[in-house]
């Protein structure tokens, strides 16, 4: 029986595991490894910070996958030796390493946050991990208006539109609390001169309109150097500074260390894959998906990409193992539903031409203005858990 090892139980890993268990039934041994006991639905961290959801609403125990015949190993991946087809996993935290062999390896380890890379980051809040979302919620409890600065420390980061969604939610919160007249909100971004710049003129305009409508100022190509907690200033590399009462900064992201130190990494440390097959060029029994390959593909980090890439990888493995298996093609679209309190918006972008090197921008459409989008977003979260975890 072929052994399939899936590293990471985030958006990409659970999709591959779940699809393969369905496609191959008992004809393969599927093991998924994660250092976290839970799968977390990261888009809902924003609702955790806003108090709409509790941690257990936005996560599920990974052991639930065992009902589908998937083995779950709770451990930390320390080494990936693709030449010898071996993965070293630390289980139980005692330092002992378990070596696992595989026939197929699927790498979905995502990116890691490195707040310590930005001096003064301890003075800022964010919602990019669950614990941080909870800490932010506590800070918001005492928020009585003032200068709010939302910003991105460095590229790349999970979910390019999410800082905008967060800023818009904060505007809504300030109105709901009656402190809107004393709340100024601004956003800084290190790499874009206009909001959503890499998504093309249509999206730039749509997001600029949103920011204008809700009085949010945008500082483009603004590169943070450090946060001065004593003087409550966020200081840029060129000496410019933004004064704050509440600082929200998305910390630097780096590739998972196990990948960066393996033969799978490109020069940035993220995983190198073929844009067409999502296999590593040197080791074609190794697939990558999600945030760990996003910089190499040249697209943003998004769960929706991880999801569609997962469908496609599972199809390829099932096709190879069972002779023929017609299932999913590679869907190169991104869909993002935003809840911004007042209303919502749904963005759809097709990245096919970008990934083929034929276009600079994806083709995008946007539907906006209806509160119903919050309901759609909530329904998607429910569907995600029900389909993948049965509850």
Ligand X SMILES: Cc1cc2nc3c(=O)[nH]c(=O)nc-3n(C[C@H](O)[C@H](O)[C@H](O)COP(=O)(O)OP(=O)(O)OC[C@H]3O[C@@H](n4cnc5c(N)ncnc54)[C@H](O)[C@@H]3O)c2cc1C
CB of 322 to ligand X, least distance (A): 25
Q: CA-to-CA distance for 197 and 260, rounded, in angstroms?
A: 28
Q: CA-to-CA distance for 328 and 4, rounded, in angstroms?
A: 19
- Provide the binding-site residues for ligand X, judged by CB under 6 A: 8-13, 33-36, 42-43, 45-46, 76-77, 108-110, 127-128, 158-159, 162, 256, 258, 290-292, 301-304, 306, 336
Q: CA-to-CA distance for 27 and 362, rounded, in angstroms?
A: 39
Q: CA-to-CA distance for 23 and 149, rounded, in angstroms?
A: 47
Q: Which run of H or E residues covers position 377?
A: helix 372-389
Closer Cβ to ligand X, 165 or 197, answer by number = 165
Closer Cβ to ligand X, 163 or 190, answer by number = 163
Task: State residue 71 phi and psi, 5-degree precision.
Answer: -80, 135
Q: CA-to-CA distance for 284 and 272, rounded, in angstroms?
A: 12
Closer Cβ to ligand X, 74 or 208, answer by number = 74
Peptide bond before residue 206 is cis, with ω within 30 degrees of 0: no
Closest residue to ligand X: CB criterion: 10
CB of 164 to ligand X, least distance (A): 11
| DSSP three-state, residue 30 | strand
Is the Cβ–Cβ distance between 256 and 112 less than 8 Å? yes
Closer Cβ to ligand X, 179 or 254, answer by number = 254
Closer Cβ to ligand X, 236 or 264, answer by number = 264
Residue 150, both tokens:
């939302």
CB of 7 to ligand X, least distance (A): 6
Closer Cβ to ligand X, 236 or 289, answer by number = 289
CB of 233 to ligand X, least distance (A): 25
| DSSP per position, 246-281 | EEEEEPPEEE-HHHHTSTTB-TTSSBP--TTT-B-S
CB of 79 to ligand X, least distance (A): 10
CB of 116 to ligand X, least distance (A): 17
Residue 242, both tokens:
């933004």
Closer Cβ to ligand X, 204 or 262, answer by number = 262
CB of 159 to ligand X, least distance (A): 3
Strand order in the sheet with 344-350: 333-339, 344-350, 363-370
CB of 26 to ligand X, least distance (A): 25
CB of 157 to ligand X, least distance (A): 8
Closer Cβ to ligand X, 10 or 120, answer by number = 10
369 Cα distance to chain centroid? 25
Residues composing the chain: 391
Closer Cβ to ligand X, 137 or 240, answer by number = 137
Shortest CA distance to 310 belongs to which of 328, 297, 323? 328
Longest dimension (CA), the chain: 65
């Amino acid at each position: 029986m072929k052994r399939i090892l899936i590293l990471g139980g985030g958006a990409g890993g659970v999709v591959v595991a779940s699809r393969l268990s369905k496609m191959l039934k008992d004809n393969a041994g599927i093991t998924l490894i994660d250092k976290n006991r839970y799968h977390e639905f990261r888009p809902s961290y924003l609702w955790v910070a806003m108090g709409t959801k509790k941690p257990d609403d936005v996560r599920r125990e990974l052991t639930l996958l065992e009902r589908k015949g998937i083995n779950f190993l709770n451990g930390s991946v320390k080494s990936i030796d693709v030449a010898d087809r071996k993965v070293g996993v630390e289980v139980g935290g005692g330092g002992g390493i378990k070596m696992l062999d595989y026939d197929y390896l699927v790498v979905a380890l995502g990116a890691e946050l490195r707040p310590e890379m930005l001096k003064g980051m301890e003075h800022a809040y964010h919602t990019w991990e669950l614990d941080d979302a909870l800490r932010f919620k506590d800070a918001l409890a005492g928020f009585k208006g003032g200068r709010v600065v939302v910003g991105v420390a460095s590229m790349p980061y999970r979910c390019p539109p999410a800082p905008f969604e967060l800023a818009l939610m904060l505007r809504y919160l300030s109105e709901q609390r009656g402190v809107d007249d004393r709340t100024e909100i601004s956003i800084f971004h290190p790499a874009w001169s206009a909001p959503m710049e890499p998504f093309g003129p249509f999206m730039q305009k749509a997001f600029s309109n949103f920011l204008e409508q809700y009085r949010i100022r945008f500082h483009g190509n603004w590169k943070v150097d450090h946060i001065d907690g004593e003087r409550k200033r966020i200081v840029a590399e060129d000496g410019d500074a933004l004064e704050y009462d509440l600082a929200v900064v998305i910390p630097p992201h780096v590739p998972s260390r196990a990948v960066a130190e393996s033969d799978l990494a490109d020069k940035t440390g993220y995983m190198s894959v073929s844009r067409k097959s999502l296999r590593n060029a040197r080791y074609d029994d190794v697939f990558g998906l999600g945030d760990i390959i996003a910089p190499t593909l040249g697209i943003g980090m998004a769960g929706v990409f991880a999801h569609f890439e997962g469908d496609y990888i599972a199809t390829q493995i099932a096709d190879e193992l069972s002779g023929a298996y017609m299932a999913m093609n590679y869907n190169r679209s991104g869909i993002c539903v935003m809840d911004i309190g007042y209303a919502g918006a749904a963005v759809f972008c097709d990245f096919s031409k970008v990934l083929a090197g034929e276009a600079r921008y994806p083709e995008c459409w946007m539907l906006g203005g209806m509160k119903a989008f919050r309901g759609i977003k909530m329904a998607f979260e429910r569907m995600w858990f029900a389909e993948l975890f049965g509850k």
